[in-house]
Amino acid sequence: MSIYKRILLALDLSDESDQLASKTAEMARASDAELNLIHVVEPLSFAYGGDVPMDLTTIQEQLDDHARTKLDQYAEKIGYPVNRKIIVTGHTETEIHRAAEELNTDLVIVGSHGRHGLALLLGSTANGVLHGANCDVLAIRVKEEE
């Protein structure tokens, strides 16, 4: 009997995402779980504080399209059926929590670099997801590609 029936894998689409995808596919396969992928695109207005005196709509759409293409590539090479591929724009932790709730997720998987010990972890996305989730959260240590 499987502990986890629905897994949500949060990907930042970096080179290290391959490590997460591979380990997540193994876990999903072992428990015959439904697998969903999510990538959150932070709005450009977050990066610039909303004070940019120009329309960033076209650039934001290009970021969304690029993310969609990359997420499709991960879904293809993951080697396990992906139920849903979610691209959303917003605050990363909030959107991961929202998707996990909507999908009735048992386990959220995120990556963690852990490069500088506890100080880095306390400010990380993994920590933010952990503290607001209503399900289990697994942070997988990823190593930088050399």
Does residue 41 lie within any of the structural domains? Answer: no
Tell me whether residue 121 is in a domain: yes
Contact 5, 106 (CB under 8 A): yes
Residue 45 lies in a domain: no
- Give me the CATH number covering residue 120: 3.40.50.620
Question: Is 127 a domain residue?
Answer: yes
Task: Find the angle CA(138)-CA(32)-CA(21) to the nearest 5 degrees.
Answer: 45
Is residue 46 included in any domain, yes or no? no
* pLDDT for 119: 42
Assess if residue 68 is contained within a domain: yes
Distance CA 28, CA 35 (A): 7
Q: How many domains does the chain have?
A: 1
This prediction has a pTM of 0.84
Q: Which secondary-structure segment (H or E) carries 120?
A: helix 117-122
Quickly list DSSP for 55-114. --HHHHHHHHHHHHHHHHHHHHHTSS--SEEEEEES-HHHHHHHHHHHTT-SEEEEEE--
Kindly report, residue by residue over 32-90, the tens digit of the pLDDT. Answer: 999 999 999 888 765 555 555 666 778 878 888 999 999 999 899 898 999 999 999 99
Distance (Å, rounded) from C-alpha 69 to C-alpha 46? 23
Tell me which residue range forms the domain holding 101.
6-33+56-80+87-141
Any domain includes 122? yes
Please check whether residue 44 lies inside any domain of the structure: no
